[in-house]
Amino acid sequence: MSVHVVYSKSYGVQYKASICSKAFILYVVIMLLTFFLPFLFCYRSNGLWLKYEKYREQPRVRFKMQYLLYVETSDPMFPLICGNFPQTLKTTGFCSIIKVIENDIDIDGKKEFLDLELHLTTNETLDVHSVTLLLIFDFKIQDLCLFEMESMIAITHSSGLPGGRLDVFGDLDLVQKIPLVCSQKKPIRIHKPILLFESSDWLVNIYEKYSKQTISTKLDNMLVKWTRGRSYQQPFLIKTKINYKQVEILYKPKFWQVMKWAWIQYFSILVLSVFIFKKVKRFLFTKHIVNTKIERSI
């Protein structure tokens, strides 16, 4: 015949000590270690406070129809310059045709790529050896952070062989030197003009100022095809396709996100710490390492 438990009752044993006793001091030390050691472990492992976080977002990008084409030719004293920018720089070339296509394939209000075709009419005696193309965009993100700026990408290529065509493919990418401080109420706006021609060495000046920006864009995964040779009656052709891919955004998390991350780490170590020090207390008091007063309750 099987036997079943029909009633059970536990007997408690309490170990008591006065405040000035060694047992009480030992108890306080164990309690402090139980809660402080997990904190110290997490803090020293550089993982308690979340200093920054990342997420990915498809930005809203729009080509502003502002571009600058700087072409070095077989005559080093006669570079060709043309573009659509504030006319504070004298143009020395003629961009006869520009074709621009920006397409929103999935109809989500965010364009996915830019197709740009540029025809440069040159002198019949000049060969093209180097191309620098600057393109200006409006760049916005808005899912978690509200941020917008005027950005630029620079396409450069040179060859010892005279060319007739340049094909460029790549992805528009975000470059951050510092994390963003995100807010849904106060958007961050950077609308400093990029194409400034204040000095004689204006191209170097543009590069220098743009490289100092804490947040900028660049052309990533760039693939280039240089086609040599052309008829002098034909314009030099530049074709680019730039994908507006998802970008990785670095931002500073807010207080509650930091505390949630800290609590998850602290609690996971605290569970182990409580278990270990519970065993330590049982050993110290049941083996009478320190003197205590024992009371049994029924």
- Looking up tokens 């930005």, which residue turns up? 59
Q: Residue 81 has what pLDDT?
A: 86
Q: Residue 153 has what pLDDT?
A: 94
Q: Residue 196 has what pLDDT?
A: 83
The two structure tokens encoding residue 95 = 């961009």
b/e map of 245-277 (b: 16 or more CB within 10 Å)? bebebbbbbeeeebeebbeebbeebbeebeeeb
Q: Residue 12 has what pLDDT?
A: 79
- Within 10 angstroms of residue 88's Cβ, the number of other Cβ atoms is 10
Q: Residue 140 has what pLDDT?
A: 93
Residues of the chain with pLDDT under 50: none
> What are the extents of the domains in the chain?
13-50+254-284, 53-252
- Looking up tokens 């308690």, which residue turns up? 48
Q: Residue 23 has what pLDDT?
A: 85
Q: Residue 291 has what pLDDT?
A: 81
